[in-house]
Amino acid sequence: MSEYIIETKDLSFNYPDGTKALKNVNIKIEKGKKISFIGVNGSGKSTLFLNFNGVLKPNSGDLVYKGDVVKYNSKSLLQLRKKCRNSISRSRKPTFF
């Protein structure tokens, strides 16, 4: 059975000006896989990653990291960023997780 490091479940994000940047995004990223995000300008790649790292909070839906739903409060975001920072410094490669 696959182990997913990141999942999104019907994740949607709208900017304050009303721009609907992400609508019901469902993805599953398997642990250890190298993947690319490819899309035309404005398709939402950067917005998705800003939701991944907690700079932006989804309007609806869930982000799941290592099986746990990210709650986007300051305590859980601090824990998430510590995990990511440790992974980056150990790998010596420009790896996000």
What phi and psi, each to the nearest 5 degrees, are found at residue 49?
-70, -30
17 is in the binding site of which of Mg ion, ligand ATP, none (Cβ under 5 to 8 A by kind)?
ligand ATP
Half-sphere exposure of 97 (CA within 13 A, CB side): 16
Tell me the closest approach of the beta carbon of residue 77 to ligand ATP, in angstroms: 20
Alpha-carbon span 66 to 28, nearest angstrom: 11
74 is in the binding site of which of ligand ATP, Mg ion, none (Cβ under 5 to 8 A by kind)?
none
In the region spanning residues 24 to 83, those forming contacts with Mg ion, defined by CB under 5 A, are 45-46
**47 near ligand ATP, judged by CB under 6 A:** yes
**24 near ligand ATP, judged by CB under 6 A:** no
Alpha-carbon span 22 to 14, nearest angstrom: 7
